[in-house]
Chain A
Amino acid sequence: MAVKKITKAALTEWVGELVSKERVFGVQSKGDKFDFGPLTSAQDLRLDYDVTLQPPKKYFLPPVETLLTFEVSAGYESQYSDKPFVLIGVHPYDMIAINQIDELFKQGYYDTHYMTRRSNATIITCDVVNASENVFASQMKTATVKDGFDILLTDIGDSYIAEAATEKGEALLSKAETADASKDDLDKREKIQKDNEKNLSKHQLKCEVAELPGLLENAYNHPVWEEKAATCFACGSCNQVCPTCYCFNVQDDVKWDMKTGQRCRAWDGCMLDGFAMVAGGHDFRKKRADRFRHRLYRKAKYVPEKIGGQIACVGCGRCVSACLPDIANPVNVYNRLFDDIKTK
């Protein structure tokens, strides 16, 4: 598939056409910040954003969703959200997070609710233009992305480089007025991507990201878990804004007829009190320090062990911004472990 170049005016026109015909969600300003939301006008799209308040995972795994409706002793009917949609403005680190959750929701039990939404999505990613205050994607090797998206846009000044990676993406892009990208255009894109691979580093990891799973082999009883958790609100803000957190809780609600009802799932968070509470009132991760440790083990050890490759922190920095007591930053914890364990 040929790489295209699209002027900013042509992009606005193309997006304008899109929003008039399809269900489109895109990045827009929200006060002095940014977030994904329903896009009704191409003028509202802000591809120069730094980071969104919420990652785009909510379009695949909503905060609350109905899994099925039931009638006692009559059976149940699964509920699916099967309307196609276009998602514009996903940053590379968020795309990598989506790729990861795709894999997790395919393994073992194939999650049809998640996968239905996922297969209905056309994703347009864009390389980062402005670094957010806490981004460290370069450190996590997630500053650029190679797959998962349908179209990748890169802002090269007066135009965007647009590369379709799938047939769906190509079909969509063919509706825009484009020209073939020149060697010079591609060089510009490469420079932007190379710069991002270096410069999205507001927090510096003292080791290579690939060393983290090994580092955690010897860190289970390290004092850092208790120290950090001492000022943890257990408010789950770090979980709620994380693009790779996908834990959920499932509850039934029965209507007044006491026969029919619905089964819903809602986001859960490993930092919340009661997260590990099971039937009979047993809580196998009762202490905040245990849960704090679990979050960071899950990011850098359990998930890569399960699916291989990229650790489950993509360096978006949202947890760093969201944590009021300032304890959530994974880089700080991993660096502390590196200092203590590697220097021994």
Chain B
Amino acid sequence: MSKPRIAIFDFACCEGCQLQIVNLEEELLDLIGAVDVVEWREAMSEQSHEYDIAIVEGSITRPEDEDRVEIIRSRAKILIALGACATIGGVNKLKNNFDLDDVKECVYGDDAKMPHLDTAMTKAVDEVVEVDYKVHGCPIDRKEFTYIVRCLLLGKKPEIPEWPVCVECKAKGNPCLWEYGQVCLGPIIRAGCGARCPSSGFRCFGCRGYVDEPNVNAAKDVIEKYGLSIEDLKGKMILFGSTQGPTNE
């Protein structure tokens, strides 16, 4: 069996998730030994139009990016969205809360009208093309990424948690941060990070996106129980969850 050809592409993002792949250290050699990397701007100069698996990092923020990701999709057998910007739109979706002209003017000032600085509403990759697998997180978890790649090499479906961060947080024996006055998003955010932030004493910021069925009614009850307002909760949800289902409810 020939090695699958993999290409890694970036869109609007900080490229930190690709950096996590570069940071695989000794496992990086295992990875590039098991696959044939044909394009990866951050790590090599070669380019290719022929690949089996496309790994797409970043969110889609311009019409020309939509065209580009559609071409990538048409060339790839499997498309993986890499990191929060790609899987849920992430922090780039904060922009969607405002008027686009205001946003451009705020960022670019006098140059806001320059054609190359044009921008559109931020989209997650699956709002433009079909995505086969998602590697969640900001940044991604390196172990989860390599697990997913190995599953694909075996032709096996990777198991990505559909349960909330609380599962991993409680398994670690952490006290609940809600008891200490933090508005932690753990109960509605997808696990898989090992409850990294709550384990360090910081609330869950929601970088892995909402679970498949976040219970908004329950969240409202909890907010009331702790004497907070819905706005207190939404204020925390918009960082990674702007203009996404539960944030709007």
Contacts and interface: CB of A to CB of B under 8 A. Distances in A.
A324 B163 contact: no
A269 B167 contact: yes
B150 to A, nearest CB: 6
Does more than half of chain B's interface fall in helix, strand or loop, or is it mixed?
A: helix
A38 interface: no
A213 interface: no
Nearest to B219: A233
B178 A273 contact: no
Interface string B191-227: 0000000000000000000011111011101100100
A84 interface: no
B108 interface: no
B187 A235 contact: yes
B188 interface: yes
Contacts of A256: 27, 30-31, 33-34, 150
B213 A273 contact: yes
Contacts of B212: 273
Interface in A1-59: 30-31, 33, 35, 53-54, 58
A274 interface: yes
A236 B188 CA distance: 12
B229 interface: no
Nearest to A256: B30
Interface string B132-175: 00000000000000010010011000010011101100111111
Interface string B213-245: 111011101100100000000000000000000
Given A233-B218, A258-B153, A258-B154, A267 B171 contact: yes
B67 to A, nearest CB: 35
Given A30-B175, A274-B162, A254 B154 contact: yes
Given A231-B217, A258-B154, A63 B171 contact: yes
Contacts of A326: 221, 225
A255 B147 CA distance: 9
B176 interface: yes
Interface in B22-62: 27, 30-31, 33-34
Given A256-B33, A325-B221, A235 B153 contact: no
A254 B153 CA distance: 10
A239 to B, nearest CB: 8
A195 interface: no
Contacts of A273: 162-163, 211-213
Give the contact-size bracket for chain A. 20 to 34
A217 B22 CA distance: 59
Interface residues of B, number: 37
Contacts of B170: 54, 236-237, 240-241, 322
A53 B215 contact: no
A31 B164 contact: no
A299 to B, nearest CB: 18
Contact of A240 (B167, B188, B218): B167
A326 B176 CA distance: 14
B90 interface: no
15 contacts: A230-B217, A230-B218, A231-B215, A231-B218, A237-B176, A251-B159, A253-B150, A256-B31, A267-B171, A269-B167, A272-B162, A272-B167, A322-B176, A324-B222, A325-B221
Interface of A: 30-31, 33, 35, 53-54, 58, 63, 230-237, 240-241, 251, 253-256, 258, 267, 269, 272-274, 322, 324-326
9 closest Cβ pairs, A-B complex = A240-B170, A256-B30, A235-B166, A231-B218, A63-B171, A233-B187, A54-B173, A272-B163, A235-B164
Given A30-B173, A237-B170, 17 more contacts: A35-B173, A53-B173, A53-B175, A63-B172, A231-B217, A231-B221, A233-B164, A235-B186, A254-B154, A256-B34, A258-B34, A258-B154, A269-B167, A272-B167, A273-B162, A322-B176, A324-B176
